[in-house]
Amino acid sequence: PIPKSNLDPRAIIVFFLSYFGKTSILVPALIVGAFLYPQLFLPLLGGILAIMLLVALFVYNNFQYEIDVTVLTIDSGNSHKKQVFIPFEQVQNVNIERSLIDRFFGLARISIETSGSSNAQPQTVATTNGPIKSEGYLPGIDLQYAKVIHDTLIDGASDAI
């Protein structure tokens, strides 16, 4: 069993960099704005970066997981709270994934695939091989701790059979 835990604090930086990459479409607008209104460029850029950091902090603070004797529970969501329960007997596969940014910070992502369930709400998880459907997803986990979670879930699934 793993008690209710938050993600690794380094996940905040990974979330921030992820949002920064997603908002890179704003770069041309910022460049044009810098030429048209140079006095507004730095405050606008600082405001955008501050908002992205706040969003990363909100995501981090509102994401918790717990592994009980028979179930993985994931609590997430900022404005729309979501709670996912994954019983061990439904766990089919547990993947540890690492993007380049994850590797740089020593983090990993865990995706849990389950057997068919009528109440499961799969999440689409982007990977280097394209999007996959995953019923459970834990981003921003320390690599060594991700291996412990992986083994706990796999052992729990095999014991549940």
In three-state secondary structure terms, 11 is: helix
Q: Can you give the pLDDT at residue 134?
A: 59
Tell me the backbone φ, ψ of residue 132, rounded to 5 degrees: -125, 160
Please give the structure tokens belonging to residue 83: 């709670």
Q: Can you give the pLDDT at residue 22?
A: 83
CA distance 75 to 43: 35
Q: Can you give the pLDDT at residue 132?
A: 42
Q: Can you give the pLDDT at residue 72?
A: 94
pTM score, whole prediction: 0.79
Beta strand ranges found along 55-90 (DSSP E): 64-67, 71-76, 82-87
The secondary structure of 87-140 as a DSSP string is EGGGEEEEEEE--HHHHHHTEEEEEEEES--TT--PEEEEETTEEEEESEEEEE
Q: Can you give the pLDDT at residue 124?
A: 47
Tell which residue, 159, 133, 153, has the closest CA to residue 86: 153
With a cut of 50, which residues of the chain have pLDDT below it?
117-120, 122-132
Contacts of 87 (CB under 8 A, 6+ apart): 70, 71, 160
In three-state secondary structure terms, 159 is: helix
142: β partners: 107
Other residues' Cβ atoms within 10 Å of the Cβ of residue 129: 7
Q: Can you give the pLDDT at residue 129?
A: 40
